[in-house]
Amino acid sequence: MTPVSLARPRALEPGDRVAVLCVSGPVEPGALAAGLDALRFAGLDPVTYPSAHDPGTMRRYLAGDDAMRAGDLRSALTDPGIAGIMFARGGYGAQRTLEAMDWDGLAGIRPKVVAGYSDITAVLEAVAVRLGWASVFGPMVAIREGAAHYSFGSLLRTLMRPGQATVIQYPQAVAVVPGAARGVTTGGTLSLLVSSLGTGTSRPARDGIVLLEDVGEEDYRIDRMLTQLRRSGYLDGVAGIVAGTFTDCGPPEAIQDILTERLAPLGVPMIAGANVGHGGQVQAFPYGIAAEFDAGAATLRLLEPPLS
Amino acid sequence: MTPVSLARPRALEPGDRVAVLCVSGPVEPGALAAGLDALRFAGLDPVTYPSAHDPGTMRRYLAGDDAMRAGDLRSALTDPGIAGIMFARGGYGAQRTLEAMDWDGLAGIRPKVVAGYSDITAVLEAVAVRLGWASVFGPMVAIREGAAHYSFGSLLRTLMRPGQATVIQYPQAVAVVPGAARGVTTGGTLSLLVSSLGTGTSRPARDGIVLLEDVGEEDYRIDRMLTQLRRSGYLDGVAGIVAGTFTDCGPPEAIQDILTERLAPLGVPMIAGANVGHGGQVQAFPYGIAAEFDAGAATLRLLEPPLS
């Protein structure tokens, strides 16, 4: 069966207006300013929304209240003058935003860029389930880490020159289960995939090349979450597995051992240690794109550009 | 509608043989020995299973491998010479045990006591879903805390003199939403309820008086888990809410604020701060029993003894 991509947005071009908002935690203004400058340097015109300026009014870990965040997201999705949506930062709050979100009347609108990761995993799943859109799992706007240039560069290349971003190589990765498979890219941050299980915006990995990565989770929690993915049926029929970074989750060998023990028995091509996710030099991971995955070569070849 | 209890096991009597096993993490021998002595002091005859002696052979956080733990559980459930099952300790591993568990041929057997909490929440849900049994949310066998006498006493009174355990009062609790409701007791440790969402052994709280408690979870994680319970439909139609201890989850006022903000809008009677769960002097919470809950009086009155 030939995998079919979700609806792809058009690539971003210089001069495009890009919404910058928060569906999760409040962003530190200095880090946000640096990211906005990077977007402007790339020729984009970032437009900040109220949630990107809220200091945690309702609760220290939330940018604004649920209505503000959901309103910003809906507004950015529907505004024809906005070419793409990027998220100021992650943290926690996307689940609440999705609970408050009104999807009425959005089904027919033209796909636009949606890019983020970590807590935004829940949003990438939601726009795939509710709108049928492809998106991009990649860095947030607020720049806080040393390797931001690499990661941001990978994201902007994907968003602005998608024709040059169809072959993704993971030189640091190891093949856990060799072999090749075709499927549609999916998944994201493990704890967020798990936090949407049982809800209307979870998107099971069937026929997919699934990304799994995380940050700051203890070994037994990684084990528990992988076990829940197995038990819930999320992984039924998965075509391939890309295990990315597991940063601050304890010794990498221990985590790889758990990943292997829980996932290799599924018998599909799998790599571990790919530079996608939280961590230093990470690559953007297009979501919802038909791809051919070669675990032995640690290569993900998209069958078409991730944006049109 | 009159709530109907799940199938109740008979009360334990002096001389009864009680299986002691692990479906989760390995138990420290000294703590286990103290608990076994307490059971013997109450007149019971504890029988330890292999998983109660495994030091973490497969993985430091697991007692034995999945086959050993699931085999011990099945063996204890089916052995007619075993009157009840108590768990040596919690930790993590119940989800894996349930994944490995073979329930074939168990549907018709006579109910027996199943008692535990924390990670065992998943087992209480599973025996309710698969076998239709009531059980008891209460302390583990391995004694590690100072207030164990109180907690263990509450458990043993429930198991051995259930006729005297039908009125449960929560003197430290506050009424978040006053009012009274009837329902069947359910729920348990929040993170474990969430870890079973989407699986075949989750038991939604519809028509239930739901217990929620936890240990060692950050505020935003409590928020995320409550939000997932809401979004997944787990809380649809819930009749009442007993929020127990949230130990080592940050300032109690902050947690109560989150509990109130996420749960009070459901509009059902609710208390917070009940002494059930992790923490010091905690009471056993019969699971699957028809009850009348009065939030204003902070009282849970079982409509029949929790064991027959």
**pLDDT the model gives residue A47:** 98
Task: Please give the span between the terminal C-alpha atoms of chain B, in angstroms, as a whole number.
Answer: 23
* Chain B interface test: which of A228, A230, A258 (most B C-beta within 10 Å): A228
With respect to residue A103, please indicate whether it lies within any of the assigned structural domains. Answer: yes
Say if residue B125 is in the same domain as residue B138.
yes
pLDDT tens for A175-187 read: 999 999 999 999 9
Residues in chain A: 308
With vertex at residue B38, the alpha carbon angle to CA B193 and CA B5, rounded to the nearest 5 degrees, is: 40
Of A134, A164, A194, the domain-final residue: A164
**Structure-block tokens of residue A246:** 């597991």
Question: pLDDT for A281-299, tens place per residue?
Answer: 889 999 999 999 999 999 9
Residue numbers in A near B61 (CB within 8 A): 219-220, 223
Q: Are residues A47 and A116 in the same domain?
A: yes
Do residues A28 and A102 touch, judged by C-beta distance below 8 A?
no
Residue B75: the pLDDT is 98
The CATH number that applies at residue A273 is: 3.50.30.60
Residue B192 structural domain? 167-302
Q: Would you call B53 a catalytic residue per the annotation?
A: no
* Domain assignment present for A6: no
What is the predicted pLDDT for the residue at A145? 62
The whole-number average pLDDT for the span B110-115 is: 98
Evaluate whether residue B6 is within a structural domain.
no
**B123: closest CA among B96, B152, B159, B83?**
B96
Q: Note whether B148 and B27 are same-domain residues.
A: yes
- Does A110 reside within a domain? yes
Q: What is the pLDDT confidence band of residue B145, given thresholds at 50, 70 and 90?
A: low
Assigned domain for A136 exists? yes
B246 & B290 share domain: yes
CA pseudo-torsion sign B263, B264, B266, B271:
positive
What integer is the mean pLDDT of B74-79? 98
Ranges of chain A with pLDDT below 50: none
Percent helix, strand and coil across chain B, each rounded to 5? 35, 25, 45
CB A81 within 8 A of CB A52: no
Query: Do residue A129 and residue A216 come from a single domain?
Result: no
Complex ipTM more than 0.90, yes or no: yes
Q: What is the tally of structural domains in chain B?
A: 2
Q: Say whether B231 and A198 touch across the interface (CB within 8 A).
A: yes
Residues B87 and B214 grouped into a single domain: no
Task: Say if A298 falls within a structural domain.
Answer: yes
Q: Would you state the pLDDT for residue B150?
A: 81
Please state, rounded to an integer, the average pLDDT across all residues of chain B.
96
Cβ atoms of residues B208 and B184 within 8 Å: yes
**Of B107, B133, B164, which closes a domain?**
B164
CATH of the domain at A105: 3.40.50.10740
Residue of A218, A224, A230, A259 best to disrupt the B interface, most CBs of B under 10 A: A224
Residue A151 confidence (pLDDT): 87
The mean pLDDT value for B71-76 works out to 98
- A187 in the same domain as A85: no
The C-alpha R_g of chain A, in whole angstroms, comes to 18
% of chain A exceeding 90 in pLDDT: 94
Residues A158 and A26 in one domain: yes
Active site residue A218: no
Residues A22 and A68 in one domain: yes
* Residues A202 and A237 grouped into a single domain: yes
Q: What's residue A107's pLDDT?
A: 87
Are residues A92 and B197, on separate chains, in Cβ contact within 8 Å? no
B32 SS3 class: helix
Sheet holding A167-169, edge to edge: A167-169, A299-302, A290-294, A180-189, A208-215, A240-247, A270-272, A174-177
Is residue B227 in a domain? yes
Q: Are strands B84-87 and B113-116 parallel, antiparallel or unpaired?
A: parallel
